[in-house]
Structures are given as structure tokens and as C-alpha cells.
Amino acid sequence: MLKTVADLVKIARENLRVIDAKTAKQELESNQGLLIDVRETPEYQNAPVNGAIHIPRGILEPTMLAKYANPQLPIYLHCASGARATFAGEQLQKLGYEHVNVISCKSDDIKAAFAS
């Protein structure tokens, strides 16, 4: 039987820390972590989030290993709905990153939380 994307997201989230945008913003103000936008380039360009680093999901793993090789670095991932961020978080944990967080709300809510 095939699984849906929603099924896979639910399974992946069992091992991830999933938080809202307000919590992510508060934590990022004190922990010097990275806010990473894993959306595709046109999505990012149409609605960028203040302070986010754009690394599309398709090149996340090699980019992270090349530029941010500290496994202790707090990482906060977001996308448009949370699904790609969840899959990205799952892969970063497999690479050895220890403080991976997925922001669970829609990108408009994330954009609003990080507006200031």
C-alpha cells in the first residue's frame, strides 16, 4: 500500500522538534542559530522571510555540510506548509545535526513573525 505525503510527514515528525514561528523567533534571538527557508527559488523570491537563509530542499544536504558543518548549530527550517521542512529536518538529523527544529505554520505566518 502506498503512503501519502501526509503519512510520511506524520512519521518523520515523530523524531523531530516541531514548533511555531513565535517560538522559533524567540529562540533565534538568543541562540545564534540559522533560519533556513527550503522552498524553491521562485517561492522564496515572491515572499522572502526576514533573516532567513535560502537553501532549496534539493541542495540542502551538500550546502549544509559545506557551509555549516557544526553539528551543534541550532537549525530552524521552514517552507510553505511544513512538509518539505519536515523532510529536510529528517535528513539533517541523519547527517548528524543535533538541534534541528521544524517550524510548523504556513509561510505567511512565519513571514509575519519575523517581520520585525
CA nearest neighbour of 89 among 20, 6, 14: 14
Q: Give the whole-angstrom CA distance, residue 15 versus residue 2.
A: 21
pLDDT single digits (tens) 8-18: 999 999 999 99
Average pLDDT over residues 18-39: 96
Q: Is the pLDDT of residue 107 over 90?
A: no
Question: How much is the pLDDT for 108?
Answer: 85
Computed from CA positions of residues 106, 108, 111, 115, in that sequence, does the dihedral angle turn out positive or negative? negative
Residue of 108 and 37 predicted with greater confidence: 37
Helix, strand, or coil (residue 66): helix
pLDDT single digits (tens) 65-82: 999 999 999 999 999 989
Task: Give residue 101's pLDDT band: very low, low, confident or very high (50, 70, 90).
Answer: very high
Q: How far is CA 77 from CA 1, 3, 13, in A?
A: 30, 23, 13
Q: Give the whole-angstrom CA distance, residue 65 versus residue 61.
A: 6
* Domain range list for the chain: 5-113
Question: How much is the pLDDT for 105?
Answer: 85
Q: What is the CATH number of domain 5-113?
A: 3.40.250.10
pLDDT single digits (tens) 31-69: 999 999 999 999 999 999 999 999 999 999 999 999 999
What is the DSSP secondary-structure string of 71-111?
TTS-EEEE-SSSHHHHHHHHHHHHHT-S-EEEE-S-HHHHH
Look up the pTM and report it: 0.93
**Is there a contact between 35 and 52 (Cβ–Cβ < 8 Å)?**
yes
Question: How much is the pLDDT for 28?
Answer: 96
